[in-house]
Amino acid sequence: VERFRHDDAAMSRAILAFAAAHGFRVPYSVLGPDGRYAFADPRKLDRLAGAIAGALARARDQELYAVIVDLVGLGRDLGPVTNALAQCRARHHRVLVFAPIESPSPAPAGAESLSALYTEALTEEREACRAAFAHVGIPLLPLSESDSVRTVLTWLGRLKSRREIRA
């Protein structure tokens, strides 16, 4: 207990572990100290493009590529990923891109206009992402907080059994 009084990081880890063990949902801020999206990393796109190219090199038959990626903060420069996915489509593979819909945290008192601007920027960025993927014939499917992995797998199973995906 004494350690937790002096070590904020240890206390934070202990509280999060307790919350996870008891099924509590802990709200967190998606904005970093500089006011930008905390999980945006431009290297994410290069790694994803490399992984897709590697999977494409090993592909045998017509494959279904289901890409689940967080694009918030990266929506303006999707070139490497759209090029890799366009190569998949050119080789007659099927591709779906799932992206979470970020719901902004409630704004603190007096910052409602800032929250509205953030929500508007997220909407514009989501539409830019959708347009970039649509340009190469790939649907961008939104995932909300209520969607689970089972929901996505069920949907993919239905698509697989239909043997068709429309962009």
Phi/psi zone of residue 55: left (φ > 0), alpha (ψ -120 to 50 degrees), beta? alpha
CA dihedral 25, 35, 74, 69 (to 10 degrees): -10
Inform me whether the pLDDT recorded for 105 exceeds 90. Answer: no
User: At 156, which helix (H) or strand (E)?
Assistant: helix 149-162
Inform me whether the pLDDT recorded for 158 exceeds 70. Answer: yes
> pLDDT exceeding 70 applies to what percent of the chain?
79
b/e burial code for range 67-95 (CB count within 10 A of at least 16 → b): bebbbbbbbeebebbbebbbebeeeebbb
User: Can you give the pTM of this predicted structure?
Assistant: 0.68
**Running DSSP on this structure, what letter comes out for residue 158?**
H
